[in-house]
Structure 1
Amino acid sequence: MFGARGGAPADSGDMDAARGLIEFIESSPTMFHAAARIRERLDAAGFTYLPEGAAWSVVPGGSYYTQRNGSSVIAWRVGSDVPAPAVGAAVSDGRRAPYRFQLAASHSDSPTFKVKAAAEVEGAGGSLRLDTEAYGGMIDYTWFDRPLTLAGRALVREGGRIESRLVALNRDVALIPSLAIHMNRDVNKAFSPNRASDLFPLVSVGDLAAGSLDLLVADALEVAPDQVIARDLFLAVRDAGRVWGAIDEFISAPRLDDLMCAYASLEAFVAASNASAVTVFACFDNEEVGSETKQGAASTLLVDTLSRVNAALGFGAEDYLRALSASMLVSCDNAHAVHPAHPELADPLAGPRLNGGLVVKEAANQHYCTDAFSRAVLTGILDDAGVRYQAFSNRSDMAGGSTLGNISNTQVSLHAVDVGCAQLAMHSCCETAGSHDVALAIRALEAFYAADIRIEGAEVVTLGA
């Protein structure tokens, strides 16, 4: 039956990658947890943590990472053949940069609802609800009638010391109830909930009172309630992600945007080897709310990190600017697949499909950073590696979204290309992608990280093995 259209059981390697993503997502209910998981992966791979407040010692052949706010992480590996400054100054009659960066960047946050500092709303029927506000642009109706948990970070005081701690209640404690159809007969004609009332999650109908939220947080952290002096808490879906379909074609989970790209780029970065470049993995917070924070792509985090790496290697300001001119960024954030019920909403020539491979995204309004030069570099690498890919453009009469590539480029100017994995239901609380695309994205990004890319301005690029 399945062979009629060429279907076959899923490749075990692809399924291992898909299940690895699911496990990563399940342990990453918030941006703070995602950053912590990334750091754990880097620690296990032998990377050295360099805090921003410490002096940095960086050498060729070394692997390092830093973090900001507990929610953004940048890691780098210095190629063993990156030259000493004196040697680099003499390379290729002074025109070739002494070294280069090859970067991939994603984001750790996803659309959700943030719990306010003063959050507990007592109301009718003995109810206790939480006052929340939207974080990012989610599809509101998907959040109704789902048991939800709370997760994030809390600031705990012990004497004169205040410490940030991860918190996840690890059980369902809230729900946003729908109004019965008998009380809203037109609900299937139009649905526009009020975020200042309809979307407040219910946590009790009489057994809990105001003050219980900090009790729940304190209990999870095993501290006294008065020790919890501040918190960044978010609603999160605990539903387990899953691979599904008659031949396991699909993966559905919360937060695929953008943990799918964060996971794929991290795995590719750890696996790849490149002796002649400084390879970089970046995962920024706050993309869903504009990136204009101290830990977002518009912050100084990337420029601070790269310039400090340059200095720690013994290079000067001139060398740094020359290195940037020879460098390249792959901005990784998921893309819209053709919707089976609404193919007319996709560009007829650039509508990607699930399991079609990494998507190269382009837009004339520059909301994506891809141009002909960066597209040629990346697709040339993927062609040489035999990794399939596809293209995305918005319909010409529809405004598309934006991502972090051009935002980060306002701080560190690089040749850059925007890519992502094709998915359905972007910004739903449960999204769907192709199960094979996890492994395909890892292979594509590993090929990029490993490639010998020799860029000369925007005129010539030479691709080696």
Structure 2
Amino acid sequence: MNKQNFAKQLIKFIDESPSNYFACINSKNLLLENGFTELLESDTWKLKKGGKYFVVVNDSSFFAFTIGSKKISDTGFKIAGSHTDSPSFLIKPNPEINKKDFIVLNTEVYGGPILYTWFDRPLSISGRVFLESDNPFQPEKKFINYDKDLLIIPSLCIHQNREVNNGVAFNAQKDTLPFITIDRENNFSFKKLIANYLNVKEDKILSYDLTLYSREKGTLLGEKEEFISVGRIDNLAAVHAGLLSLIDNKDKKNTCIVAAFDNEEVGSNTMQGADSPVLKLLLDRISNALGADEEEYQKALSKSFLISTDAAHSIHPNYLEKSDPTNEPKLNYGPVIKMAANKAYITDGYSRAVIEKLAKDAKIPVQTFVNRSDLKGGSTIGPITQSQIKISGVDMGIPLLSMHSVRELAGVDDHYNLYKLIGEFFKK
């Protein structure tokens, strides 16, 4: 596959996935198109060797897997983990605020966005809406991608804030509320807006999980179109690379899994997040469905390996002093192995050696990242997953600039090489 075409596929996937829910919907559609069978958590699972399956958890995470021809006690599980969520703003209940006829929506920051990057650009809303039904435990559910330039967070003009270019501290309850309309009669209803879009009655809406997203489409840029510019690269690029690696994997001996958790940006401690038993329960069910006993299952875990795929930091040409002096990842120089003495990443000498050898044999360039010793970095699903399951693993991802901006920047080569590396991992 041409690497630029692959990058365009990623851009299309992200543009069509404005929220974690649509990331799962679009992943589900890709899996179904490629012969995977959807499983329900409430059903009895009957798995067979060579089978291709997936399960969606709470609409916002999914786990896709293929059953290998060899026993799991001989090969273990090959797992590529990622997450479907990205920093954004959640829309609160009763969100309408009237400020001198200007209607703004009350929001709450989700994760760690770079706030100023959300200003002065067209925004809209995406997520899920729950409607009244006869059964309180089974409300009707609708997914919504409000396909319209709907909202904006306007900046304060420089004439009223002369120090703006010297740096501004934003108050998330005051400064980042999106503006939607002028309402002289004071009768604007957010629920009514949603109801009209979904063609349902307003009084049937019980609740919603909705977030803001930028309406600006992704693009390739650079002299050679070597860069990917789009939102939510962190971490939908890893979801996309893992998913396509699994779909395209022609080797059938290993049992391979793509785990796309939710809520990594806020700590992962939900039932669909990595800090839950969700992956362990999946492995248990696969093992049971294949007829493996507890001893064989424990043997399988001892031979398993996790690649926790999440975005890494590229050196920044305007802020070179922010990077480690001897480990300097760059865009389009290869996927990045991430290490940290405080174990914010799970990479150790053994797991790094595994990836270095896989990459060397496949002639895929890789880089290493560590934080400056005087700066604290982030973390990933890697350590959280290891706290739930005893499994060897590595943290890695493609290098980014503008991480957690509303629009991030990645390398075309890096995304393609991550896809190839995960594919090599699934085959070995």
Task: Sort the TM-score into its range (normalised by shorter chain).
Answer: over 0.9
**Alpha-carbon deviations, 1:151-202, whole Å to 9, x = none?**
1110022444512221111111111111111111111112111111111100
Q: Following TM superposition, by how much is the alpha carbon of 1:271 offset from its aligned partner in structure 2, in angstroms?
A: 0.9
Partner of 1:316: 293
**Alpha-carbon deviations, 1:305-330, whole Å to 9, x = none?**
00000000001122111100000000
**Alpha-carbon deviations, 1:254-299, whole Å to 9, x = none?**
1111011111111111111333321000100000000011110011
What secondary structure does 1:25 align onto?
A: helix
Q: Following TM superposition, by how much is the alpha carbon of 1:98 offset from its aligned partner in structure 2, in angstroms?
A: 3.6
**Alpha-carbon deviations, 1:81-103, whole Å to 9, x = none?**
337xxxxxxxxxxxxx3441000
Is the Cα contact below 8 Å between 2:22 and 2:127 reproduced in 1? yes
Structure with bigger gyration radius: 1
Q: TM-score, normalised by structure 1?
A: 0.89
Partner of 1:64: 53
Q: Distance in 2 between matches of 1:406 and 1:269?
A: 23
What secondary structure does 2:55 align onto?
A: strand
Is the Cα contact below 8 Å between 2:312 and 2:399 reproduced in 1? yes
**Alpha-carbon deviations, 1:324-377, whole Å to 9, x = none?**
000000000000000010111111211110011111111110000100001111
Amino acid of the structure 1 residue aligned with 2:411: G
Give % identity.
39
**Alpha-carbon deviations, 1:218-263, whole Å to 9, x = none?**
1222211112111011010010000011111211001111011111
**Residue 359, structure 1, aligned to residue 336, structure 2:** yes
What secondary structure does 2:53 align onto?
A: strand
**Residue 146, structure 1, aligned to residue 121, structure 2:** yes
Q: Distance in 1 between matches of 2:185 and 2:23?
A: 31
Unaligned 5+ segments in structure 1 are 1-11, 84-96, 452-465
Match of 1:29 among 9, 18, 24: 18
Taking a change above 3 Å as real, the CA distance of residues 444 and 210 of structure 1, as seen in their structure-2 partners, is farther
What secondary structure does 2:350 align onto?
A: helix
Is the Cα contact below 8 Å between 1:120 and 1:210 reproduced in 2? no
Q: Following TM superposition, by how much is the alpha carbon of 1:147 offset from its aligned partner in structure 2, in angstroms?
A: 1.1
**Residue 119, structure 1, aligned to residue 95, structure 2:** yes
Amino acid of the structure 2 residue aligned with 1:15: Q
Partner of 1:405: 382
Is the Cα contact below 8 Å between 1:121 and 1:210 reproduced in 2? no
What secondary structure does 2:210 align onto?
A: strand
Taking a change above 3 Å as real, the CA distance of residues 208 and 72 of structure 1, as seen in their structure-2 partners, is farther
**Alpha-carbon deviations, 1:26-68, whole Å to 9, x = none?**
1100001101111111111111111111100011111111111
Match of 1:104 among 74, 80, 85: 80
Is the Cα contact below 8 Å between 1:115 and 1:132 reproduced in 2? yes
**Alpha-carbon deviations, 1:385-428, whole Å to 9, x = none?**
11111111111111111000110111112100001001101000
Match of 2:318 among 318, 341, 347: 341
Q: Distance in 2 between matches of 1:80 and 1:240?
A: 42
Taking a change above 3 Å as real, the CA distance of residues 209 and 232 of structure 1, as seen in their structure-2 partners, is farther
Partner of 2:41: 52
Within 5 Å, give how 1:153-172 maps onto structure 2. Answer: 153-160=128-135, 162-172=139-149
Taking a change above 3 Å as real, the CA distance of residues 344 and 51 of structure 1, as seen in their structure-2 partners, is same
Match of 1:15 among 4, 29, 54: 4
Q: Following TM superposition, by how much is the alpha carbon of 1:208 offset from its aligned partner in structure 2, in angstroms?
A: 7.8
Amino acid of the structure 2 residue aligned with 1:111: P
Count the aligned residue pairs: 426
**Residue 39, structure 1, aligned to residue 28, structure 2:** yes
Is the Cα contact below 8 Å between 1:138 and 1:429 reproduced in 2? yes
Deviates more, 1:268-277 or 1:295-304: 268-277
Partner of 1:179: 156
Q: Distance in 1 between matches of 2:71 and 2:131?
A: 43
Is the Cα contact below 8 Å between 2:74 and 2:303 reproduced in 1? no
Taking a change above 3 Å as real, the CA distance of residues 171 and 209 of structure 1, as seen in their structure-2 partners, is farther
